[in-house]
């Protein structure tokens, strides 16, 4: 019982890297808007060569939100 209470109180850490879809969900915008933010340099991107996909560091998303731009 103690373990279940501890698990309920401990909040899991966010992943270090997020997908475009995950960032769009966090910002409540479409994926096109996230790609536009990446092109303007408002969000940092990391290319993952396996699968040729983009990841956004969670720290970049947090900094973007701290700036208050949406």
Has residue 21 been placed in a domain? yes
Has residue 68 been placed in a domain? no
State the pLDDT at residue 20.
Answer: 95
Q: Which domain holds residue 40?
A: 16-53
State the pLDDT at residue 49.
Answer: 80
pTM for this entry = 0.73
Residues of the chain with pLDDT under 50: 1
Tally of domains within the chain: 1
Dihedral, CA atoms, 11, 54, 61, 42, nearest 10 degrees? Answer: 180
């Amino acid at each position: 019982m103690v373990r279940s209470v501890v698990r309920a109180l401990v909040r899991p850490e966010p992943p270090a890297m997020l997908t475009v879809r995950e960032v769009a969900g966090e910002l409540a915008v479409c994926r096109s808007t996230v790609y536009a933010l990446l092109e303007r340099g408002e969000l940092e991107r990391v290319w993952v060569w396996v699968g040729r996909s983009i990841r956004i560091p969670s720290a970049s998303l947090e900094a973007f939100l701290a700036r208050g731009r949406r």
